[in-house]
Structure 1
Amino acid sequence: MSVDKSVILVTGGSGLVGQAIKTLVEKELQEGTKFSRNETWVFCGSKDGDLREKAQTEALFEKYQPTYVIHLAAMVGGLFHNMANNLSFFRENMAINENVLYASHKHGVKKVVSCLSTCIFPDKTTYPINETMVHNGPPHPSNYGYSYAKRMIDILNRGYHEQHGCRWTSVIPCNVFGPHDNFRPQASHVVPALVRRMADAIDNGDATFTVFGSGKPLRQFIYSLDLAKLIVWVLRSYDSVEPIILSTDEEDEVTISAVAETIKKAYGYTGEIVYDTSKADGQYKKTASNKKLRSLYKDFQFTPFETAIQESVDWFKKNREQARI
């Protein structure tokens, strides 16, 4: 990425990762970095245009004429929301991705960085998973709609590169959490769901707190502010069409029960955590290799998990009235 005058459009800019990038960009602006002097960042949310609609997507690109695009917009949700709405997740995300990438091509966007997810990988696979394994088999049946739609971004990137020479890529983060997360029941992922529900349990004076499932599945988690730094690094420094996994190290994988205990500690909740094993666990593990990232960005430091959870809980407590609950 050059340091010439440029406009960077962030779709899904009002969400978890978009707001983290905004925080990073505002810090760069205060520090007067070489990039901040030449960049105009535009953060667009659903109120700025419905990206499922081709005409509205086109109008957005016509208005801002972006030089670069960070594509974060998606229909997203937690395990149970996915299980009940696989068709909707597939159709809506396919429409969003097709419209954004077509508009990017039409308007001569130099680079698009799209955000995928580790849940797109095959259900039956060997671990750790890496970037070469995306299309090696069906995803987990619980979220196949979302997963297949996200996989198709990689197909579109390759097609636009082969037919038109477009230099577009995608990133594959592990589970993301942090300030500005979606804390709504049924629509939230595991960390924000637990953060919201534990706040409610404390308010209600509950002596026990129930975690859905056994608590045994393993996950890697990345703090949204860390992911923001890495996505901006990809925009500026990573030039391959091949996707890149943005994940914490394999040894930082934690159980859902450990997540619940860490959130309990952050709140100072004194009740007992119990597990409802009648609820589905989802995929047992999705261990991802960040070997490619580490080979290209050796000295990147991830925020310690407990620190990131504490900051996320503190943000929710402070901003609960404005949060997506």
Structure 2
Amino acid sequence: MLANPESVILVTGGTGLVGSAIKHVIKTCQDPRFGALPNEKWVYATSKDADLSDRTATLALFERIHPTHVIHLAAMVGGLFRNMKYQSDFLRLNLLINDNVLHAAHTYGVKKVVSCLSTCIFPDKTTYPIDETMIHSGPPHDSNYGYAYAKRLIDVQNRAYNQQYGCQFTSVIPTNIFGPNDNFDLEDSHVIPGLLHKCYLAKQSGQDLIVSGTGLPLRQFIYSHDLAKLFIWTLREYDSIVPIILSVPESAEISIRDIVTHLTKSMGFTGNVRWDKTKADGQYRKTASNKKLAELLPGFEFTPFEEALDATVKWFLENYETARK
């Protein structure tokens, strides 16, 4: 557990998918491993509080808050096709954001930083399952190399800050995340929120549900509330600077085609589903091993996929007018 008499935890990207989930878990979870502790003050920063791509603004944020710990979630993110179109923007802006946050954390003596990476950082040509030792063993997939290299460099920076200054900066690598407060934009979202919104619109209009690609790629999906608990555990109890994969087991891998089947059932969509095979599938698989996590946190219970998907659909329908879309 955090040892400070009072710990001030800054969460960058505090109103995004994962930041909102952390806030929810901290407020509602009764398990002391994940819920609120009396010696912790949580601060959820957004882009309105500071432009983290600006060095001066980032330092000013840290001067105002004086965090003792940071969960760094802020990033320029997007779906497959936006990544393919804006490789330079994804590289440059994320490099600036990450460098500014880690520099400010060092400058203000932050005791621990947990940054968020992505499984897209792993090499395209590799063996499966991928694990924490394989991050830098080859180029990432061409579809999102700008974002992937920017995220990889967080691990390089963490090791450099630790070697030179003794900083306890670490990172986690979640698999594909979904849940309430996601970005459901049709052109700029990840697979589940994008499909969910498409399915909703197809049901409302009585038209076919058109899905890009073949539906064959495989992915591991983690519910945002489960990931939030694992972020909190990492902040409080994971002491290594070596990245750790936060993922459901390999056995939970699911195809895009099966996701669509579950989603149409949850949404009550009974129309026709058509697959647009002229659109790119992206990387076929990114199977990740959660062996390290399972050894350090045995018995952690992940929310079953269909239950988590139903909860996400329910949240979307109840919050349709205000959801990001």
Q: Considering the TM-score relative to the shorter chain, is it more than 0.5?
A: yes
Query: CA contact under 8 A between 1:71 and 1:115: conserved in structure 2?
Result: yes
3-state SS, counterpart of residue 60 of structure 1: helix
Instruction: Report Cα offsets for 1:27-69 as digits up to 9, x if no partner.
Output: 1589899952111100011111110000110111000000000
Distance 1:32 1:230, change over 3 A: closer
Amino acid at match of 1:299: G
Deviates more, 1:182-191 or 1:24-33: 24-33
1:226 aligned onto 2:226: yes
**Superposed counterparts of 1:54-65, under 5 Å:** 54-65=55-66
**By how many angstroms is 1:160 displaced?**
0.3
CA distance in 2, matches of 1:96, 1:310: 34
Q: TM-score, normalised by structure 2?
A: 0.97
Match of 1:263 in 2: 263
What SS does the aligned partner of 2:48 have?
helix
Aligned residue identity for 1:128: P
* Cα distance between partner residues in 2 of 1:89 and 1:321: 29
Contact 1:15 1:180 in 2 (8 A): yes
**What residue is the counterpart of 2:190 in the other structure?**
189
The amino acid of 2:92's aligned partner reads R
Task: State the partner residue of 1:273.
Answer: 273
Aligned to 1:151: 152
Deviation of residue 202 (structure 1)?
A: 1.0
**CA separation of 1:29 and 1:295: change in aligned 2, threshold 3 A:** closer
Equivalent in the alignment of 1:92: 93
1:305 counterpart = 2:305: yes
Pair 1:295-2:303 in alignment? no
Alignment of 1:15-26 (within 5 A): 15-26=16-27
Amino acid at match of 1:252: A
- Rounded to whole Å, the distance in 1 between the matches of 2:305 and 2:176 is 12
| Distance in 2 of aligned mates of 1:112 and 1:44 | 15
Query: Counterpart of 1:286?
Result: 286
Structure 1 counterpart of 2:165: 164
Shift of 1:274: 1.5
User: What's 1:320 paired with?
Assistant: 320
Other-structure match for 1:7: 8
Cα deviation digits, residues 103-145 of structure 1 (max 9, x gap): 0000000000000000110000000000000000000000000
- Kept in 2, the 8 Å contact 1:3–1:34? The answer is no
Q: Kindly report which structure 2 residues correspond to 1:106-125, keeping only aligned pairs within 5 A, or say none.
A: 106-125=107-126
Q: Distance in 1 between matches of 2:198 and 2:286?
A: 25
1:30 & 1:140 partners in 2: Cα distance? Answer: 39
Counterpart amino acid of 2:242?
E
How far apart in 2 are the matches of 1:89 and 1:32? 35
> 1:273 deviation in Å?
1.5
- Any idea what SS the aligned residue of 1:47 has? coil
Q: Indicate the percent of aligned positions where both proteins have the same amino acid.
A: 57
Offset from partner CA, 1:140-184 (integer Å, 9 cap, x none): 000000000000000000000000000111000000000000011
Sort the Cα spacing of 1:315 and 1:107 in 2 relative to 1 into closer, same or farther, 3 A. same
The CA distance in 2 between the partners of 1:232 and 1:66, in whole Å, is 16
Q: Does the CA-based 8 Å contact 2:27-2:35 persist in structure 1?
A: no
* Contact 1:29-1:36 within 8 A present in 2 as well: no
Unaligned 5+ runs, structure 2: none
Q: Which digits, 9 at most, give the CA deviation of each residue in 1:69-101, with x for residues without a partner?
A: 000000000000000000000000000000000
236-245 or 180-189, larger mean C-alpha shift:
180-189
- Residues 31, 252 of structure 1: alpha-carbon distance in 2 compared, 3 angstrom cutoff: closer
The aligned amino acid for 1:92 is L
CA shift in 2, pair 1:32/1:169, >3 Å? closer
Find the aligned partners of 2:187 and 2:126 in 1 and give their Cα distance.
Answer: 28
Gaps of 5+ in 1: none
- Taking a change above 3 Å as real, the CA distance of residues 94 and 31 of structure 1, as seen in their structure-2 partners, is closer
Cα gap change, 1:153 to 1:144, in 2 (>3 Å): same
* Paired letter, 1:296: L
